[in-house]
Amino acid sequence: MARVLHDVFVFTTTLVLRIRVLGYWSLVYGYCALCAAAALLKLGWNLILRPSTTFRWGIRETPPACLSDTSLGTHCYVRIKESGLRFHYVAAGERGKPLMLFLHGFPEFWFSWRHQLREFKSEFRVVAVDMRGYGESDLPSSTESYHFDYLVTDVKDIVEYLGYNRCYLVGHDWGGTIAWLFAIHYPEMVNKLIVLNCPHPSVFTDYALRHPSQLLKSSYFFFFQLPRFPELMLSINDFKALKGLFTSRSTGIGRKGRWLTAEDMEAYLYAFSQPGALTGALNYYRNVFSSFPLSQNDVKSPVLLLWGERDAFLEQEMAEACRVYIRNHFRLNIISGASHWLQQDQPDIVNTLIWTFLKEGEGHKTHRN
C-alpha cells in the first residue's frame, strides 16, 4: 500500500511539474507570437508610408573618429585559453593601480563608458570590455554560448589576465546582471560593486512574475526570442529602431541630461551594422529563459546601486528591493530625470556618486597595494 501511495505521489508531482513547465513555455512563446504580430503590423505600415526607405540599411565601413580618441585609452585584445574567445577592451590609467572594470549593457559596447574612462583613470587602471557577442570581441553563433556561467567566467578570466585578483566592478543593464552574479560567485574578487539600472537577478525574477506592468515593459524579451526577425526590425530604415532606443522621448537620453552627438550615434551604428553584431547581442536574450539565474545568494561586497528615475524598461520599486540581498554596506541613489542610459545621460552626477562611494569605508586607497 505504501508503495502504491508513493508511486501515486511521484506521478502526481511529476505531472504537476510538467504542466507548469508546459504552461510557462506556452506563455513565453504565446507572447512571442503576439510581439511578432505587432512587429509585422508595424513593418507593413512602414512599407505603406515609406516603401523606398524601409529596407535601407548597410554596413558602416569607416569607424567615426571618436572610437579612436586617445583620451579614452588604448585598444587592446586578449584571447582567453579556456574559452578560445578573443576579447577587445579599452584601457587607461597606470598599470598597477587598482583595477576598475566596466561591463556594458544592450545595445551598447565599450564606448558607453567613455565619460567614466576619462574620469577615473587618474586613480585607477580603468578597463571597458566589449563583452562576448559585442563590438570587436568574438561573436559565438550558438545561443548556448551565452549561458550565464560562461558570461561570469569571462569576467573572471579577464580580471586574471589583466594581472589582478580583485577589482572594482561596474555594470549597467546586462552588464549589471553579470556584475551581480560575479559578486555572488566570486566575492573575494570584488572590492566594491557598482550597478546602474539593473536589479539583483532574484529581485527582477520575483517582481516580474508578480507585476504585469514589469512584464509589459519587458515584452521585448519575448520578441527577441524569434530568429532573425528582431535583427530585421532593429536594422530597417537605417537602424531607426536602434536609434530610437537612445533618442526617443520615451526611452532616450537627453530630457535633462546630455544628448548623444551625431558622432556618438554613428559610433553605435558602426558597431551594430557589422556582420553578426545584432545577433550576438540578441543571443543574450535568446538564452535567458533557459538559463536565467534564480539564485537566492547574497552579495557580500559593498554595493552602490544607481537608478535613473525615468527608466522606461524597469520599475523603480525593484531598486529598493535589492537591499534584501546585500550583506554589506548598501547605497541607493535614484537620479531625478535620468533615463535608463544613466552613465551617458548624467555622467557628472554618476561620476560624483561613484567617487563618494569609493571613498566610503574601506575606500579604494586601502587596496592600492
Which residues are catalytically annotated? 173, 285, 340
Q: In what order do the strands lie in the sheet with 99-103?
A: 74-79, 86-92, 125-129, 99-103, 167-172, 190-196, 303-308, 330-335
